[in-house]
Structures are given as structure tokens and as C-alpha cells.
Structure 1
Amino acid sequence: MILSLEDVSYRYAVTPILDHVSFIINESQKWGVVGLNGAGKSTFMKILAGVEQPDSGKVTFLGKYRISYCPQNMDFPTGKTVYETVQDCLTEKTEEYEIKSILSKLGITDLNQPIEILSGGQKKRVSLAIALIRKADLYLLDEPTNHLDQDMIVWLEKYLARVSKAVVLVTHDRYFLTRITNHIVEVDHGKLYQYEGNYADYLQQREQRYEMEKLQEHKRQRFLKTEIEWIRAGAQARSTKQKSRIERFNRIASMETRQEQEKLSLSSTASRLGTRTIDIQSISKSYDGRTLFEDFSYNLLRMDRVGIIGPNGCGKTTLLKTVLGQVQPDQGSVEIGETVKIGYFAQMNEVFEDDMRVIDYLKQFGDFVETADGERITASQMLERFLFFKEDQYKPIVKCSGGEKRRLYLCSILLQAPNILILDEPTNDLDTDTITILEDYLDNFKGAVIAVSHDRYFLDKIADRLFVFEGSHISILQQSYSDYLESRATKTSQPESAKPKSQPAPKPNRLTYTEKKELEKLETQLPSLEENVSSLEQQLNLVTDYSEIQKISSLLEEARQNLEEAEQRWMELSEKTEA
């Protein structure tokens, strides 16, 4: 056991975030933390990290273990470079090549720039790099995939899959959860529900739990009905038995039950869209002498589902803003049809008035939205559809979590009945349940959708056409995101021998002649493989050019892999020799 919570409670004002919960983290376990926005996932992580103290209960952490924590948001002291900031956050001496290697994988290459000029997303990546560089037995990572592009996410996924230490992470990336975790803990109304398996296993087990809860609720309602009839018949709390029966009734009547999500049809809330939508004609845009995109043309179709992908900083958001008219192209034009009503879900939330209630904020955009068949969906129903239940609708916005504010912002856009949705990283800060609801909404949306996202699962669900940034050129592909990634991996992978591999024969107890020769060869190869790794590490310490850092980092990763495989094979053959 590395860490445990025993009967822990934590309140925010009068709201129980954690209510008498217990939890244990053992060595090598990889936990995914899920739950609605505002359920308390980040608070749970802070308590595990020792950043927050519970109101009651016991947190036990064995001192021989080390914890590394990456919070959801991180701010650093000013006046230092990126490299100095990282060094200050590390308690153990760390080689420069290790720092450079991890930072470069996360897109941070200028280590001499002042930390204060970095964007929020870049600071998050520096914070993640610090957490990964630290030598730890338990890694606590809160939304590690936020602000990462596709290549960074794939690298992080492989990195955490190889790590033999314990990991607890909060993320909305469902592919990431499925591939990394072997346990899931759900934070729900102050309770922790623990599941064995990955995210896909969790979904199946959660449905079974919901069915059991429905059965228990049905039994509870039958019991309450019987007891109410008994009380109405004039039952008096005179005897001890009668008092106990009434107390039991009061206790069961006051039990909280999970609220079922109201099933509302929001499939046709879009305004009527004519045949002329958005016509992009040969647009180009450059900043500071760097061309983001050039000579790009596309005529958006009425029911288009477009995903936009590319590395961080390539110009995806600039393309969206050019289409919206917020940024003027250097060349070309964008023509918008007369019936077009765009809903733009930006990366940054609206500025909210903290003392305003959730429902009052939404009603600024309308009391209801009318569907194509004349049905009215009220602002309250829209909120409930996106998991703001009745009591949540009347709380002040200042009490909302970052994810809840993001949800509210989304509802304000949908209530205005747009017929073209332009979404910039829509899944950031949303919980997995809300993302699923958004996916269902978009699946039935009677209009066009353009979405920038690094969420592979989300893009697979909603996009059948891709705009792919490749340098300053934007390719238009008619395929899913997963198909694109698979085809790209096939193109970039090294060609393998066409000769089929023979099936391995059963291992004899002694080394064969061939294995003896292989062992001798390995014993001469290992020192040179170690020297190669050491040489590349030294080279990485010396270079400052971004392209060189990337090149040497890739070579170093390959060299380490070759050394690890050779050492593993040497151990296998050596064990047979001893046998």
C-alpha cells in the first residue's frame, strides 16, 4: 500500500464533496478518476497529494514512497527561465538531457525564455513535464492531456503504459483511459464507486450498478407507500416497536437517490439553413513572417461534419476565426449565406458575473428554444439535459467549477438555435458524461459542424471529414480520425521484412548452439549500446536548436529501447545458462 483514505469527509460550504469515503492505492495500480464536473475530482486529487486537508477522517501515506503531482492549473513565480523554473521544482539532481528530452516531447524547446511569457497551455505542459521528470512511486495527474496535441498525447500514452509505478489520473480522453488504466474510481454525490478494469469495463459495470439502484429505489418506494398508509391509519409512537418503525420510515424517506437524466429531444433545435452556407475561397494567413495556411478553399455543405487537426500552434484557431470574420485573411475571402446562424464555442469561456445564478445567466439568451416541430425546450430543460439538475440551476456561478462554467457556456450557445456550430476544443474541461451528451446532440443536429479537437474518441464519433494541417497546406480527407492515424502510422513506420516469422519452438532446458552464439554476441554488444545511449544523452545536453533536439530525442528513445531489449534477452539467456 502506498496511500489510503479512511472515512474521509470534505465539504465546500455546506455541500459534501466527499462523504465518509475510503480508498487505497497499491503499487503499480493505474487509476482513472471520473465524475461529473463539480463532483469533486480535483478536490479528491488534492487530498491525495496532501495539498488539501480533509475535514475529518484519516489520510495515511507511507513515507518511503514518493508522490509527484500535476495540478489542473499551475502558475509559476516570475523572473526565471523555463529551465530554472523546472530545476527549482525538482528535489533530486536531474541530468539536463532528461529535462530537455521530456520538455521537447511536450513541445517546450526554448528553455531560456522567461516562464511568465508562456501561455496557460504551455505552463500546463511545463507542469506535466516536471511531474514526469520527478522520481516518484505515485504519479497524480489532473487532466494531463489538456493542451496536448495528438503526437504529444500518443507519446504520453506510451510513456505511462511503460511506467511500472502507480498512477492516478483525471482525464476526459476516453481512449486514453481505456488504454492506460486498470482501475476506475467514480466521484458521485460525495461517494466513491470503485471498479476493476479500464474505462470500457467501467461503463459496463456502471450500467449494472444503475440497474441495481433502480431495483432498490423501486423497493424503497413500495416500502414508503406501505408505511405512509400505516401512519395515515393513525399509528402512534407509543411502544418501542412503533417508535423504531417510524424512525426507520424517516431514515429511508430521507435517503438521497441518484437523479435520472431527463430524456429530452434536442435534435432539431437548429434554425432553418438555406442551400448557401459558408464558402471559403483561396484564403491565406501569415503571422510574423510565418505562413499558417495558404490558398485554402472549401464550400461547407449543409450537413457537413468536419474535424480539424494539427500540432499546437499550427493555426487551427486562426482558421476558425478567419471563417468567423474575427481575423481577416491576407488573401482570399469567406462568404456567409444569409440564413446562416453560427454558434461559436471558443476555447476560452465567457466572462461570467459570479453573483448571477446559473438559470438567470442562461435566460439572458432566451427563455426557450423552439424545435422544428413546434415543441418548446425551456432554458431549465436545456440545463437539465446537460446535467444541471434543479438545485444546481439556482446556485451562483461563483460556486461552479471550471467544467460547470464550460457546460453553462455551451448551453448558452445551443439555446440560441444556431444552424452551424464551430467548436474549438469543445471537450476541454468537460466530463465524460457531458461529452457523450454533446456527441448525441451533434449526431442529431440538423446543420453543419466544424470542430477543432485532439480528443480522438470525440472526433471518431462526430467527424467524417478532416482538415489536416501539414505545414502551411491544409489537406481535406474523407475519413475518420482513427483511420487517418492508422494510415499515417503505416506510412511513417519502417518497412519490415516480408519474410514470415517462424513459430518459436518449445524452449529446451539448456542453451542451443545458436543461443550460445547469441549470448556471446550480446555480451560484446551491450557495452556499445550503453555507450551509444550515453553519447546521445551528452549530445542532447549541448544542443539548443529545436530540430536537433527533436532528432536527438528520437534517436535517444530508439537507443534506449534497443538497449532495454538487448538486456532483457541477455537476462533470458543467462537464466537458462544458470538452469
Structure 2
Amino acid sequence: MNLLTVQNISKSYGERILFQDLSFGVNNGQKIALIAKNGTGKTSILNIMSGDDTPDSGQVNYRKDIRVSFLAQEPNLNPELTVEETIFASDNEILKVIHSYEKALENPEDTDTYQAAFEAMERFNAWDFETLYKQILFKLKLEDLNAKVGLLSGGQKKRLALANALINKPDLLVLDEPTNHLDLEMIEWLEDYFAKENMSLFMVTHDRYFLERVCNEILELDNGQLYPYKGNYSYYLEKKEARLEQEAVEQHKSERLFKKELDWMRRQPKARTTKSKSRIDDFQTIKEKAGQRRKDHEVQLEINMERMGSKILELHKISKAFPEKTILDQFNYTFKKGERIGIIGKNGTGKSTFLNILTGKDQPDAGKVVIGDTIKFGYYTQKGIEPKEGQKVIDIIRDFGDFIPLKKGRQISAQQLLERFLFDRKKQYDFVDKLSGGERKRLYLCTVLIQNPNFLILDEPTNDLDIVTLNVLESFLLDFPGCLMVVSHDRYFMDKIVDHLFVFKGDGLIEDFPGNYSDYRVYEDSKVAEERLEKAETNKEAKITADSYTKDKRKTLSYMEQKEFKNLEKEIEKLEKKKVEIQQQFTDAGLTGEQIDELSIKLQETMDSIDQKTERWFELSAMLED
């Protein structure tokens, strides 16, 4: 079933043409990712699809009666509403029913209103939906439903907009960089969510693991043409390589044919026959094909790294805390030459604060930071570039000088350097505030690297960068001889460039893990498996111990204790059966909220009884052993 059709859309800004005559569709069940270089119109295509922008030509048609949700990079939310009010401001009918029910619960005396709200919950089967939306808010760390949107951080607003989009359970969800501002745990949960939900997706993302695990089709915008690939990211890489090889063969053939036809044209007499005129017309087409060139220029990163001495950076018993939150608790570490450290942890555990302390932007509450005399930090922050009003791209670089030193005593002009970062001479005179998000990040990366740091600190460097630029950045960092510290939720990026991890666990606990992110996930998953196995073994041993007690042993207890011991075994067995029966009742989709609460209380009481009686059983068992 077709959900969306985009027909022959074009978009340009002045003389700059982003794309022309693009057409594609989205069918039910498709999970499509749009891949393209920064500045070629990815976000413009999404804005046209959402209605926030209009194409110069062409149109977008949606199937009637389908629900569509959009997640923009910069969500437009009402700052006056709370988190809960934002959720319930949706036009989703079930959410309105849940909202009415929750309001009715606040006034239990009004029995008529409560009864009407309760019946509406039953009629729309809204109980499961209520559980789902609360689970989504919990997973995205939006537990404070009364928080004002205007007071939320940029990351919290993005997560709220994502929660809103998911809760509406749309037929089609359009996403612009959905993994930005999510920690690794949230991203992995979102991957699982999309795998289970029958939801069609159209997204722009640079997260290559996300592309691999979520998408079943890639749509690439390359040199103004759309190329579909029916598979995930690995399939796309394989087939793109084959396409480029075929294009190179075709280009070579066109060039050879052009030379042949050009010789013929030069030999032709002035008098033209009908046949020769036809061939001359064909020559123009051949000439155009032969003259086509791929614009495959890549970012060229080159710096003259400052010399690094023997002392790098030492942290001595560093502590940092905020009200009700400890970030660091007497943390010690001595950095060595060439270290490549990744930093992971949930949002709010203090990763950015830690980086600010290292670079002197923030001070610890206690402890000492000792920086080597030769160390020069290059700090790429999440805040990014902050241009002055009316500042142009070239002005940003010229603030560092008209000529920039490179390796081996060479130097390069500001204009030449910008060309290496894919800003052509015309683009260099654009205003910075007119650049796309990815172009601004690329310019910011340029300003960090031209200062020739020998200790690079990158806080979420992959946000908004296109995949081509990411690949070049990874290659550069692999060859970077200085120290490197990276905070990133891009698991592919982390796996490729870091040797070990600082894992921020919260409450001031930092674990130094020897390996990359995938190694850490395997380790964590194995720990969970071991804990389950140990629990199973403990339960098994307890059962074997229980069965092994003989009547002779029981005679060492008093008559009443022996009787209690026998009864306990039967009672525990009955309680275990009762627990299973209660748990099975939770699967009934027709349960009301009150019934669920009652069952929860019964289940907890039963489990408490099992614990008490089991503890007494072990107490009597110990007396037998004595």
C-alpha cells in the first residue's frame, strides 16, 4: 500500500540549485533512509514532505486517512506548556480519552464524570496505550511531566518531540537525525522499538549502526540523482561500489566515442547531407555524456601538530558535585602519549562537565589537574560555532590569520584551506547563518584543527556530519599521533577510533574498560547472562537441598518444628502456583486500571509471603544440619 508519493520536486535558493525533478514513494512497511552529502538538500526534502517548505515545482501526495508524524532537527514546541500538556495537545483521540480519565481521577467525588471516562477507556481499549506512552517517556528520560518546555535543554526538547511522534503511533514517521541527543541506551531501545512496531519510516541519519539495524531500503541522493538500494547499510555500500565501477566503465566508453566522433566532425566538408546532420545532432549528446564528471572531492584534513613532551595530563583525586548529583569522586588518571579514549554514559552523568574540567573551562571542587607544558588542546564542543552577526565563512577562518601553517614548514591560504573542507570560492562568501547544520559543523571542525592541537577533545563530533565527511574524519583520527578523547553516541565511530573507554556509571563512578563500545556491550550482556545463570543454579541447589533432607534428619527438630517444616514445603509450593496464576491474569487485555492495581497488590503480597516462608524454611534447615 502506497503511503506517500513525491513527484518531480525541485528546490533552489537564488542561483544555487539543490535538486531537480526528484521522484520517489514510501510504501507500507518500508523503513527508508535518505543519504546525501551535507548541503545537498536532505533537510529541505524532509521540510517539503512535512509541509514546512514548498518545492519550486512538483508535488507531495499522501494517502487519505493516514497518520503522519514529523521529527525535525529543531522541534517547534510551545514553551508555555508542560511535558504532559505537550503530549496531550496531540489530535490523537486515544490520548484525549486517557487525558480525560486522568483528570477524572483527580476528582473521585464526581462519579458521573469518572464513570464516563472509565467507559471511554474501555471502549477505546486505552489501557495498553497508556502503558505504552508512559514506557516511552520513561525510556527517553522524561519522567518530570510537570516540567515546562521552555526550561528544557535542547536535548530534552528533541527527546520530547521524539516521544510525541512515537506516542501518536503514526502510519508514517518522518525523522531528521533521530539519534541526536539520545544516549547509547536510548538509541538501542529505539532500534528495538522500530524492529517490533509495524511503522513505516523515512529518515535522515548519519548513524551507520542504526542504518544497518533499522532500515530495509537506502535512498541515495548523489550528483542530483536518486539511487534506491533495497537493503540495509551493508548492502548499500556493496551495491554503490558496483554502481560507481559501472559508471566509470560507461564514462570511459563515452570519452572514447566522443574522440571518434570529434575526428569525424573535423573531417566533414562544409556541405551537409541529411545523414550527416543527424550524426551531428547525436554528437552533441555524446559530447555531454563525455563531459560529465563526478564531484567526488573529499575533505582534506591536514595539520601541523604541536610537539608533545613527556608529561601529558594528570588528574589527582578530582571531585565535582552539584546539588543531589555527584559527577566525580576522587578520580585519578595519568594520560599517556597516543591514548585514544572514548567516553560513554547516560545523559546527565557528567561527561561534558568532565571535559570542561580537563580544559580549564570548569573547576573541580577538590583535587588537582596538572597539564604538561607542551599540551595544546583542541576542544570541539556540542555548542559549535558562534558567528558574529553578518559574519561570512571566510571571515571565520581569517580570524586565525590569512595563512595557516601546515606540516614541514608549508603554509596555506585561508581560501585554500576552506576549499579542502569543501567550501568552494563562492560558498566562502556565504553568511554563516545560511549554512546547513552539517556545513556549520564542518566549518567548526576546520577552526579546531587549524589551531594545531596535540590533544584533541571531541564532544559529539558526528552530529549532523554526512557519512562521507565522517569517513574522512575517521581516517584522519586513526592517523592522528596525539592524544584523543571522544564523547559520542555514534557506535560505529567509537568502535573504529578508540582503544578503551571511560564508562560514566553515575554517582561519581567511572569504570576504565579495555576495549571499544562493541566489546563493552558484549561484556555487559555476558554479565547479565551470568547473573541469570547464577540465580538459576542457586534455585536448583536449594531444591536439591530440600529434596535431600531425610526423615532421620528431621527427627533432630522438635515435634512442632518438624510439623512446621513439612507444612512450609507445601505452603511454599501453593504460593508459587498462586504467583503464576496471578501473573497469567495480567495478560487479559480487558483488565481495568483498578483491576491491574488490585492484581499488583496481590502479587506483591504473595511474593512477600514466599520470601518469609522460604527464609523460615532455611532457618529450620540450618538447625537440621547442626
Alignment partner, residue 196 of structure 2: 162
In 2 relative to 1, CA 302–65 (structure 1 residues): closer, same or farther, beyond 3 Å?
same
Rounded to whole Å, the distance in 2 between the matches of 1:26 and 1:357 is: 42
CA positional deviation for 1:71? 1.3
CA positional deviation for 1:271? 1.8
Given that 2:299 and 2:422 are in contact with CA atoms closer than 8 Å, whether structure 1 keeps it comes out as no
Alignment partner, residue 219 of structure 2: 185
Rounded to whole Å, the distance in 1 between the matches of 2:395 and 2:146 is: 47
Consecutive unaligned residues of structure 2, counting only runs of 5 or more, are: 99-129, 538-579, 605-626
In 2 relative to 1, CA 191–392 (structure 1 residues): closer, same or farther, beyond 3 Å?
farther
Given that 1:386 and 1:437 are in contact with CA atoms closer than 8 Å, whether structure 2 keeps it comes out as no
Alignment partner, residue 334 of structure 2: 299
Rounded to whole Å, the distance in 2 between the matches of 1:129 and 1:403 is: 24
In 2 relative to 1, CA 60–79 (structure 1 residues): closer, same or farther, beyond 3 Å?
closer
Alignment partner, residue 466 of structure 1: 501
CA positional deviation for 1:458? 0.7
Cα offsets for 1:286-322 (capped at 9, x unmatched) = 1224211111121111201000111101110000000
Residue 462 (structure 2) aligned to one of 427, 432, 435: 427
Alignment partner, residue 143 of structure 2: 109
Cα offsets for 1:343-379 (capped at 9, x unmatched) = 1101012112465443443243245554544455554
In 2 relative to 1, CA 129–368 (structure 1 residues): closer, same or farther, beyond 3 Å?
same
Residue 528 (structure 2) aligned to one of 492, 517, 531: 492
Structure 2 residue 219 is the aligned partner of structure 1 residue 218? no
In 2 relative to 1, CA 75–64 (structure 1 residues): closer, same or farther, beyond 3 Å?
closer
Tell me how many residue pairs correspond in the alignment. 518
Residue 130 (structure 1) aligned to one of 161, 164, 177: 164
CA positional deviation for 1:528? 4.2
Given that 1:237 and 1:246 are in contact with CA atoms closer than 8 Å, whether structure 2 keeps it comes out as no
In 2 relative to 1, CA 235–296 (structure 1 residues): closer, same or farther, beyond 3 Å?
farther
In 2 relative to 1, CA 262–482 (structure 1 residues): closer, same or farther, beyond 3 Å?
closer
CA positional deviation for 1:57? 2.1
Structure 2 residue 232 is the aligned partner of structure 1 residue 174? no
Residue 186 (structure 2) aligned to one of 152, 163, 171: 152
The alignment's TM-score, normalised by the length of structure 1, stands at: 0.82
In 2 relative to 1, CA 265–5 (structure 1 residues): closer, same or farther, beyond 3 Å?
closer
Given that 1:283 and 1:333 are in contact with CA atoms closer than 8 Å, whether structure 2 keeps it comes out as yes
In 2 relative to 1, CA 235–11 (structure 1 residues): closer, same or farther, beyond 3 Å?
farther
The one-letter code of the counterpart of 1:480 is: N
Cα offsets for 1:432-489 (capped at 9, x unmatched) = 1111111100000110101111111111011111111112111112111111112112
Tell me the secondary structure at the aligned position of residue 495 of structure 1: helix
In 2 relative to 1, CA 534–69 (structure 1 residues): closer, same or farther, beyond 3 Å?
farther
CA positional deviation for 1:30? 0.8
Rounded to whole Å, the distance in 2 between the matches of 1:28 and 1:235 is: 62
Structure 2 residue 566 is the aligned partner of structure 1 residue 529? no
Consecutive unaligned residues of structure 1, counting only runs of 5 or more, are: 499-521, 543-551, 553-579
Alignment partner, residue 34 of structure 1: 35
Question: Alignment identity in percent?
Answer: 42
Structure 2 residue 476 is the aligned partner of structure 1 residue 476? no
Rounded to whole Å, the distance in 2 between the matches of 1:224 and 1:393 is: 36
Structure 2 residue 194 is the aligned partner of structure 1 residue 141? no
Alignment partner, residue 70 of structure 2: 69
Alignment partner, residue 19 of structure 1: 20
Rounded to whole Å, the distance in 1 between the matches of 2:455 and 2:310 is: 12
Rounded to whole Å, the distance in 2 between the matches of 1:536 and 1:383 is: 65
Residue 294 (structure 2) aligned to one of 255, 258, 266: 258
The one-letter code of the counterpart of 2:532 is: P
CA positional deviation for 1:85? 1.2
**In proportion to residue count, which structure has more helix?**
2
Rounded to whole Å, the distance in 1 between the matches of 2:472 and 2:148 is: 41
Residue 353 (structure 2) aligned to one of 314, 318, 321: 318
CA positional deviation for 1:425? 0.5
Cα offsets for 1:407-442 (capped at 9, x unmatched) = 111011112211110000111111111111111000
- 1:69-468 equivalent positions in 2, closer than 5 A: 69-94=70-95, 95=98, 96-226=130-260, 248-250=282-284, 253=287, 256-261=292-297, 266=302, 269-353=304-388, 355-367=390-402, 369-376=404-411, 379-380=414-415, 382-389=417-424, 392-468=427-503
Rounded to whole Å, the distance in 1 between the matches of 2:271 and 2:65 is: 57
Cα offsets for 1:216-246 (capped at 9, x unmatched) = 3333433444555566668769666666555
The alignment's TM-score, normalised by the length of structure 2, stands at: 0.76
Given that 2:216 and 2:230 are in contact with CA atoms closer than 8 Å, whether structure 1 keeps it comes out as yes
